[in-house]
Amino acid sequence: QEGQPIYLAVKGVVFDVTSGKEFCGKGAPYNALVGKDSTRGVAKMSLDPADLTRDTTGLTEEELKSLDDIFNNVYKAKYPIVGYTSRRILNEDGSPNLDFKPEDQPHFSIKDEF
């Protein structure tokens, strides 16, 4: 909706991509990525609905390298982190993931209850 923030997740990290609405907003080329964890689509550079998932199973070395490059040099470099998907901060049984480490952005702090 107009005036609402635009969020998308990559590798379980939720970014506010509102400042890039010409790329991710309604009717924009990458709008299919928003509102979900689109890790696979980013890795494959695919907007196919079947690829708009967090699943990285079967990705090639080249696709995984591309994913890391885009994650670090585009998303982390340009957009603020506003949260994390539950799969990143919780274990399958719902208990806290003690290995969870927030991404290093100075304007983001994680609350103790996580």
Q: What is the pLDDT of residue 107?
A: 53
Cα angle, residue 12 at apex, residues 45 and 40 outer, rounded to 5°: 25
Q: Write the pLDDT tens digit of every residue in 30-56.
A: 999 999 999 999 999 999 999 999 999
* Domain harbouring 25, CATH code: 3.10.120.10
Supply the pLDDT for residue 34. 95
In a domain, 108, yes or no: no
**Structural domain boundaries, residue 16:** 7-88
Q: DSSP string covering 36-57, please?
A: SB-HHHHHHT---GGG-SS--T
Instruction: Assess if residue 52 is contained within a domain.
Output: yes
- For residue 106, is pLDDT > 60? no
CA distance 11 to 88: 8
| Beta partners for residue 8, in sequence order | 15
**Dihedral over Cα of 85, 91, 94, 100: its sign:** negative
Structurally, how many domains does the chain consist of? 1
